Structure 1
Amino acid sequence: MPSLALPQSPPASPSWLKAFRDLPHTYGFQPVKVEGRLPPELEGTLVRVGPVTFGVGEQRYGHWFDGDGGVLAVRLGGGEARAAARLIETPSIRAERTAGKVLFSNYGTPAPTLWRRLFGGVKNAANTSAMTWNGRLFALVEASRPTELLMDDLRTLGETDLDGLVGPAFSAHPHPVVPRKASYNFGVRYGAVTWLDLYELPDDKPAVRHLGGLPLPGTVLVHDFIATANHLVFLVAPMRMNLFRTMMGRGSLSENFEWKPELGTEVIVVPIDRPSKAVRFQAEPFHAWHFGNGFEQGGRIYIDFVRYPDFRTNQWLAEQMKGWANTEIDGTLHRATLDVKAGTLHCEQVSERRCEFPGISPLRAGIRHRYVYLAGHAGRETWRGPQDAVIKVDMDTGAETMVRLGDEHHPSEPLFIPRPGGQAEDDGWLLIQGYDAAQDQSYIAVLDAKTPQSGPVARVVLEHVFPFTFHGTWVPKR
């Protein structure tokens, strides 16, 4: 008679799981503790947006991307710091809190009834990134319109279509282009035909410009893109939504994206000045969540991004909220070279380290850059949890600098802030929201970008844990 296997005990909860609890309380700007010395030239406000509540009523959300949005802001100046934390109040978030249950479809959490899945709309979780434009502050999520926040105390002003110029969706990843003195973004409209809307946001004009749009190949997922001095570039991975299963409630949107490598990744290159002349061609199958920068040189387009061989990382992201990850991730920094005339894309791996959230100096957005800053995993065996290291990569030499902020410390996306008057791409500071899991403490670390290996020159210590955020922005002192 075969022996019966004994049931395995569930693994102990990892220390970082405590960061996935709901934001304990909210408040306006108030003084917080500073360890070390803040650089006197560093004056402005760091704004971070991310999921801060992870369920409603008795139901826990099905994916990290579903958490209701919150905003953290840390104002620096005169060697002191003040912090504020708020929940973001969109109509759909308020409706679910009032009802005490899920009402709307979200990325990893389906609506409860067929009628709501078909006609109830998509939840605006406002939980992915922050954007400032012409003195206004917005919280963004890719499936909905922007949500405007009051700059002074972070209170929610409401959803906006930016004077009727933005459609039902406005991506969470706008990209500035320095030579054009403008930022660019997109939105994906789903329907009988999936449509990609393109937008320009001039730095010195309060009106959005709709550049036009183009059809996409079915119900696809487009999370990010990149802009160069002359082009907008989209890499559309070979995922397609199983609409029948989704509408019938057999799984969530996240669970019903199917990886179809035989389709390849579609490359879409849109000339900014002639959007109707987009060039499209196929490349090998791969997926990308985030792009660092793009530039043009010698008739080719170069793009730095984190490349994944497939879509397994989506499952890893869902598993983080549960405290375990059985799905190994292998996203690494790559540089893609596009020859638009020949219709080819060639990818070269720059680093073997697992990483995410690539960023550069904002002074080089859309033009050639040297340094990329990332959050990553320090070792090959630390991939089960959130990133635990900060990485600086020299794209000219391939040299890497890897920094640990401490044992059981988990950094967010590094945000580079140029020193006033500085021109070098590492003449400034990295601002990083960190979580010390051993002490159950959140903080903002300030690193000198030239020598990040020296550790933080200062830390702003929050009085409570603020859950992991995805993206942020820097608002210089007015």
Structure 2
Amino acid sequence: MNPGYAPRYGIGFASLLDEVSNLPLSVTGILPPGLVGTMYRIGPGRFQIGGHAVGHWLDGFALLSSVAFGSRGVTCSNRFLASSWYRWALMEDTVPAGGFDSQPVHRHSHFSDDNANMSITHWRNELEALGDTPQSILIDPTTLATIRTKRRGHLNRCCACSPHPVFDQFTGERFDLSLCNGDPPGYVITVTSPAGRTRRLCAVPSPRLGYMHSFSVTPRWVVIVEGPFTAYPRSLSSSRHPYLRNYVWDAGRGSRILVVDRRTGALKATLSTRPLFALHHINAWDDGNQIIVDLAAYADPSILDSLAFDHGEVPAGNFPAPLATRLVIDLEHKRVLCSPLRCPPGEFCTIDARFSMRPHTILFAAGPTRTGEPIDRLCRSDVTTGRFIEWSSDNCFPGAPIFVPTTADSPEGEGWLLTIVLDVLAKRSFALILDAATMTEQARAWLPCALPFGLHALFVPEEATT
């Protein structure tokens, strides 16, 4: 890091080497007695090995953290995923090349990268960490120990995957999107039943493949939004360039909307809209002959470049924030209307999951107070009225929010909002519990260290693990 300039949030990009297990936490405030379960969070947690540093934040080694709430108080654990990527780095005392945005070498291509640091799911009593590669990692939810690497062996020549599978709470099915360099290359959608049987729903041929971080599913359709940030399929299978550098932004291409019938796998429509770059879809549902898709849209993919480490220095550039955006896909008239929702800019948008695949009103997000700055506030927005309320605290940087309803039948957005917050002045992180209806603090559970900035998180109620 340049000694003349150290961003105040720089500690969020620093490695954390210590691992802890079931460590009791001190709590300020009053914990809600009905909040019983475990919050898990995944993200890059180590950036240097053997005097060598990664070239991009998303090349940091995956660190899983948990905060457990129960009748005996709050405990925390954190543990690095024992991926083959991480184990090789420790054995060789160096940082592997050929990850997300590091210079590659032939024998360590993108295919061998199982550094699943982007997302985490809990399904069929399995805790799974995912990245954008064909490998994910199964984790023991109690000890956070790595169980095994899971590979998509049923896919032919899979070169990348969305780290955000979609779960249908009504049918119990899981939908996955993969990018494959097959014959022909294209997008492959698979469906896994609640019993664990996986079938291929469809393969949509495409001469170029978009950067597919997430996608949407409704009761009738699967929707793929392909922005003009694309790569040739063969380049994704090569080790000649870092994974990210295979993609090229061409705003003139606009965005393609691919609509697939989830019952038959047939491609129903291919439509166009303005150029946009979206990492995260928020929610989607059917409305007659229309499909409504909400996503967090950037003007371009510069957010990825802003997270690069420049010669070991932490990211200090301009951090763009996306706008929650609604796509109204009119299948009858074959057109797409695209407009921003009435809420502040922000990432990691989440809704009350009980409203998944149907219209929602309340949207939670983490965003910046000032344009270009890191995330420093949490917002609850009513997307119908545009009214929002927020939480922020001096020198504090919150992560992805998680909504937990008070009861199964409580009104939309009534419950608790959880996140991990980094207090850069105290040089410690804390688990924050907010009243989600009013965005007022209920409690802070203080961790013994400063956790690096994370990515996605989830809450697993105690009854879901017993």
TM-score by length of 2: 0.91
Matches within 5 A, 1:139-150: 139-150=129-140
Q: Which of 380, 390, 395 matches 2:378?
A: 390
The alpha-carbon deviation at position 248 of structure 1 amounts to 8.1
The alpha-carbon deviation at position 126 of structure 1 amounts to 0.9
Matched position secondary structure for 2:363: strand
Change (3 A) 1:435 1:210: same
Q: Determine the C-alpha separation between the residues in 2 that align with 1:244 and 1:362.
A: 37
Q: Determine the C-alpha separation between the residues in 2 that align with 1:21 and 1:201.
A: 38
Q: Which of 446, 449, 464 matches 1:461?
A: 446
Provide the residue aligned with 1:275 in structure 2. Answer: 265
Letter in 1 for 2:394: D
Change (3 A) 1:36 1:158: same
Provide the residue aligned with 2:403 in structure 1. Answer: 416
Deviations 1:365-405 (A, max 9, x none): 1111111110001133xx23x2001011112222122221x
Q: Determine the C-alpha separation between the residues in 2 that align with 1:120 and 1:363.
A: 37
The alpha-carbon deviation at position 116 of structure 1 amounts to 2.9
Q: Compare 9-18 and 51-60 and name the one that shifted more.
A: 9-18
Change (3 A) 1:244 1:134: closer
The alpha-carbon deviation at position 325 of structure 1 amounts to 3.5
Q: Compare 392-401 and 367-376 and name the one that shifted more.
A: 392-401
Matched position secondary structure for 1:213: strand
Q: Determine the C-alpha separation between the residues in 2 that align with 1:343 and 1:355.
A: 30
Provide the residue aligned with 1:206 in structure 2. Answer: 196
Provide the residue aligned with 2:179 in structure 1. Answer: 188
Q: Which of 427, 440, 448 matches 2:414?
A: 427
Q: Determine the C-alpha separation between the residues in 1 that align with 2:200 and 2:243.
A: 28
Matches within 5 A, 1:167-246: 168=158, 169-190=160-181, 193-202=184-193, 204-241=194-231
The alpha-carbon deviation at position 264 of structure 1 amounts to 1.2
Q: Determine the C-alpha separation between the residues in 2 that align with 1:120 and 1:289.
A: 20
Letter in 2 for 1:401: I
The alpha-carbon deviation at position 361 of structure 1 amounts to 0.9
Provide the residue aligned with 2:6 in structure 1. Answer: 13
**Quick check: 1:124–1:143 contact (8 Å CA) kept in 2?**
yes
Provide the residue aligned with 1:308 in structure 2. Answer: 298
Letter in 2 for 1:67: G
**Quick check: 1:105–1:121 contact (8 Å CA) kept in 2?**
no
**Quick check: 1:92–1:104 contact (8 Å CA) kept in 2?**
no
Letter in 2 for 1:457: Q
Matched position secondary structure for 1:318: coil
Please state if 1:348 is matched with 2:335: no
Matched position secondary structure for 1:98: helix
The alpha-carbon deviation at position 132 of structure 1 amounts to 0.8
**Quick check: 1:145–1:166 contact (8 Å CA) kept in 2?**
no
Matches within 5 A, 1:69-218: 69-78=62-71, 80-111=73-104, 113=105, 115-116=106-107, 121-161=111-151, 164-165=153-154, 168=158, 169-190=160-181, 193-202=184-193, 204-218=194-208
Q: Determine the C-alpha separation between the residues in 1 that align with 2:83 and 2:315.
A: 31
The alpha-carbon deviation at position 207 of structure 1 amounts to 3.0
Deviations 1:433-456 (A, max 9, x none): 11011111111101111100x2x2
Change (3 A) 1:120 1:370: closer
Matched position secondary structure for 2:307: helix
Letter in 1 for 2:149: E
**Quick check: 1:233–1:270 contact (8 Å CA) kept in 2?**
yes
Please state if 1:336 is matched with 2:327: yes
The alpha-carbon deviation at position 281 of structure 1 amounts to 2.0
**Quick check: 1:48–1:472 contact (8 Å CA) kept in 2?**
yes
**Quick check: 2:342–2:385 contact (8 Å CA) kept in 1?**
no
Q: Determine the C-alpha separation between the residues in 2 that align with 1:287 and 1:387.
A: 19
Please state if 1:358 is matched with 2:349: yes
The alpha-carbon deviation at position 183 of structure 1 amounts to 3.1
The alpha-carbon deviation at position 411 of structure 1 amounts to 0.7
Q: Determine the C-alpha separation between the residues in 2 that align with 1:322 and 1:100.
A: 21
The alpha-carbon deviation at position 62 of structure 1 amounts to 1.3
**Quick check: 2:53–2:95 contact (8 Å CA) kept in 1?**
no
Structure 2: state its 5+ residue gaps.
none
**Quick check: 1:129–1:470 contact (8 Å CA) kept in 2?**
yes
The alpha-carbon deviation at position 352 of structure 1 amounts to 6.5
**Quick check: 1:171–1:185 contact (8 Å CA) kept in 2?**
yes
Q: Determine the C-alpha separation between the residues in 2 that align with 1:194 and 1:445.
A: 45
Letter in 2 for 1:179: F
Q: Determine the C-alpha separation between the residues in 1 that align with 2:242 and 2:96.
A: 14
Q: Determine the C-alpha separation between the residues in 1 that align with 2:437 and 2:397.
A: 21
Please state if 1:450 is matched with 2:437: yes
Q: Which of 284, 300, 310 matches 2:274?
A: 284
Provide the residue aligned with 1:438 in structure 2. Answer: 425
**Quick check: 2:26–2:445 contact (8 Å CA) kept in 1?**
yes
Provide the residue aligned with 1:399 in structure 2. Answer: 387
Matched position secondary structure for 1:254: helix
The alpha-carbon deviation at position 110 of structure 1 amounts to 2.2
Provide the residue aligned with 1:4 in structure 2. Answer: none
The alpha-carbon deviation at position 351 of structure 1 amounts to 4.1
Provide the residue aligned with 1:471 in structure 2. Answer: 456
Deviations 1:197-235 (A, max 9, x none): 212244x42333432322234143111111212211111
Provide the residue aligned with 1:266 in structure 2. Answer: 256
**Quick check: 1:47–1:472 contact (8 Å CA) kept in 2?**
yes
